[in-house]
Chains A and B, each alone.
Chain A
Amino acid sequence: MEIHRYEKLWFGLSLLLIVGFIGTITYGAVGAGVQMVSDDGGTVEPSFSTINENEKFAQQEDNQAVHVEGNEYEVAVIAQRFSFQPGTGSPIQVPEDSRVTFYVTSPDVIHGFSVVGTNANTMVIPGQIAEITVEFDELDSDEPKEYGVVCHEFCGAGHEEMAGQIQVVPEDQWEGDA
């Protein structure tokens, strides 16, 4: 088979592009430390009673993150038609300069959990616990910083109402058990 030399050149450049893309993503994982949502969060039977007994969700109190150690915190969120608990009723409060792990699950249908304007973004699937860890920087001022959270997967009539908020507060305004 005869392939034109320009086409051979383009074939080589195409391969270079593909390898470059995969290389960039690999750099993101190894160098920049970006992790994918995976099966680390484990599973839970999708009903309120079972979810509330799950160790991650049982320790969740009102809208505060739970302090683990150092600057590490955990928040357990139930995404359900059509609210986030916590998040929708009152904002989820996390302290600045923290490393927060969100555990999100659903007792009913598939939802999304997307912190608008950031790369914190996961699906919420009944039966599965999504686990994502994100780092919030130090605040520039004494004012809390707010992030919107939206459900980005269609979950039924009323889906467009499903949103919440995360509030990053200065260290001294943090009211959780430090």
Chain B
Amino acid sequence: MSSETETTEDGIVREIGHDEFDPVGTLALILIYFVIIGGLWAFMYFVEFLGNGPTVV
């Protein structure tokens, strides 16, 4: 099978230069990551840790 556009060995169908590339997918993924670790941190500290007494005081 060969696709209609000409492809290189790596399957590249178009060249994207530095100025025309906005890593918007990366931003989306990493914002999700940010929300997850922020939330997990709060849960771990305030629920798991502070709720796990006795604690060293």
Q: How far is the CB of A131 from chain B (nearest CB, A)?
A: 9
Query: Across the interface, do A6 and B55 meet the contact criterion of CB distance under 8 Å?
Result: no
Q: Whole-angstrom distance between the alpha carbons of A48 and B22 in the complex?
A: 68
In this complex, the interface size class of chain B, counting residues with CB under 8 Å from chain A, is 20 to 34
Q: Whole-angstrom distance between the alpha carbons of A133 and B56 in the complex?
A: 5
* Interface secondary structure of A, over-half rule: mixed
Given the known inter-chain contacts A21-B41, A134-B57, please indicate yes or no for A119 contacting B34, CB distance below 8 A: no
Q: Whole-angstrom distance between the alpha carbons of A43 and B26 in the complex?
A: 53
Given the known inter-chain contacts A10-B30, A28-B45, please indicate yes or no for A37 contacting B56, CB distance below 8 A: yes
* Interface secondary structure of B, over-half rule: helix
Given the known inter-chain contacts A4-B23, A6-B23, A6-B26, please indicate yes or no for A134 contacting B55, CB distance below 8 A: yes
Which A residues, 131 to 151, have Cβ-Cβ distances below 8 Å to chain B? 132-137
Other contacts beyond A37-B56, A122-B56: 20, CB < 8 A:
A6-B23, A6-B26, A10-B30, A13-B31, A13-B34, A28-B49, A32-B50, A34-B55, A35-B56, A117-B52, A119-B53, A119-B54, A120-B55, A121-B56, A133-B57, A134-B57, A135-B54, A135-B57, A136-B54, A137-B54
